[in-house]
Amino acid sequence: MHVPDGFIDVPVSLATGAVAAGAVAVSLRGARRELDERTAPLAGLVAAFVFAVQMLNFPVAAGTSGHLLGGALAAILVGPYTGVLCISVVLLMQGILFADGGLTALGVNITNMGVVTTVVSYVLFRGLVRVLPRTRRSVTVSSFVAALVSVPAAAFAFTLMYAVGGTTDIPLGRVLSAMVGVHVLIGIGEAAITALTVGAVIAVRPDLVYGARGLTAPLKLRVGGEPADPQLAAPAPAPARSNRGFWAAGLVTALVLAGFVSYYASASPDGLEKVAADQGIDRKTEPHHTGDSPLADYGVKDVSDARLSGGLAGVIGVGATVAVGSGVFWAVRRRRTAQPAETAISGGV
């Protein structure tokens, strides 16, 4: 659902750019509360994983494909504020390095794919987790439903943007029915990928899943049918587990998906591209500002072998995304740890 330049007019592009900038600013502050010594190093990995999986277009209908948006997955794994930042980093890398998603439409894409999907999915996810039994399976089921709903929600949001600032005169009802219809199908794929990923991480490291925190109630020790002394019953704190192995496994997975599996992805246009071509939304599409970059269209310039070219581009993209994302989240985490000291100094003065 990467919107190119020319679909949305300048005023709406500027307005959504302001909304996106505000959302990123709020998310930078909110992410300080979500990131800790365990999750901060993993947030960059989540961004890289989303980048890799977005390269795996899957068929959803005749001549149409879909791909992961990732808002629900990121929000559930690392928190909603950090999730917005993850998707923003991915979209920035895609727009600058790979000419995927217009630069003047960056605000549209961050608002649509980053903010709308994250907010809608996480609100729904939290609501479901509260009413369902407090189990890991409930987290997985809730992630499936939240991801499923987030995709047509993003399609609806794009339709609203098009209604206000579309550059072509197409009946709004046709655009809405076409966008929501195909993206409900794409949402099923999104939901499956999200639920499988969340379920896999919970099975291995439930302590790293932001959306699963606090689900397991502490065990209550009873002696002779009576509650034992809480101090005596309290178990010793579990030793901290290293994230290095998990991080390395996640990075290798992302590299394999982007560098190898992506070659077998569907070549059909995605939902937005197909609807735009069928309905005439793309009549005023503008050339991408970085369309002549060495990595444009997810291929390495001057590498003739398609498999090698696409694989190298995917590996470079994963590397760039994990580097930029890790740098951003390291800075956010460092800012969080610096705040208490600053508060103490100002309080002492």
3-state helix, strand, coil in the chain (%, to 5): 70, 5, 25
Q: Which two tokens stand for residue 170?
A: 């197409």
pLDDT exceeds 70 at position 149: yes
Q: Give the integer Cα–Cα distance in Å for 265 and 248.
A: 24
Provide the 8-state DSSP code for 113: I
Q: Which residue has the tokens 């995605």?
A: 270
**Spatial CB neighbours of 214, under 8 Å, sequence gap ≥ 6:** none
pLDDT, tens digit, 9 for 90 and up, residues 37-67: 777 778 999 999 999 999 999 999 889 999 9
Q: What angle is formed at CA 34 by the lines to CA 28 and CA 38, rounded to 5 degrees?
A: 120
Average pLDDT over residues 341-348: 46
Q: What long-range pairs does 126-129 form, CB within 8 A, spacing at least 24? A: 126/211, 129/211, 129/215
Q: Which two tokens stand for residue 1?
A: 């659902």
Q: What is the pLDDT of residue 349?
A: 43
pLDDT, tens digit, 9 for 90 and up, residues 239-274: 556 788 999 999 999 999 999 999 999 999 999 999
Q: What is the pLDDT of residue 345?
A: 41
Neighbours of 80 (CB within 10 A): 25
**Spatial CB neighbours of 120, under 8 Å, sequence gap ≥ 6:** 71, 146, 149, 150, 153, 154
pLDDT, tens digit, 9 for 90 and up, residues 276-334: 999 999 999 999 999 999 999 999 999 999 999 999 999 999 999 999 999 999 888 88
Domains of the chain (ranges, CATH numbers)? 10-215+243-343 (1.10.1760.20)
The fraction of the chain above a pLDDT of 70, given in percent, is 88
Q: Which two tokens stand for residue 39?
A: 């999750």
Q: Which residues of 256-270 are buried (b: 16+ CB within 10 A; e: fewer)?
A: bbbbebbeebbebbb
Q: Give the integer Cα–Cα distance in Å for 5 and 303.
A: 27
At 111, the pLDDT band (50, 70, 90 cuts) reads: very high
pLDDT exceeds 70 at position 127: yes
DSSP string, 208-249: G-GGGTT-SPPP--EETTEEPPHHHHPPPPPPPPPSHHHHHH
pLDDT, tens digit, 9 for 90 and up, residues 212-227: 987 654 444 455 555 5
Q: What is the pLDDT of residue 37?
A: 75
The fraction of the chain above a pLDDT of 90, given in percent, is 79
Q: What is the pLDDT of residue 233?
A: 46
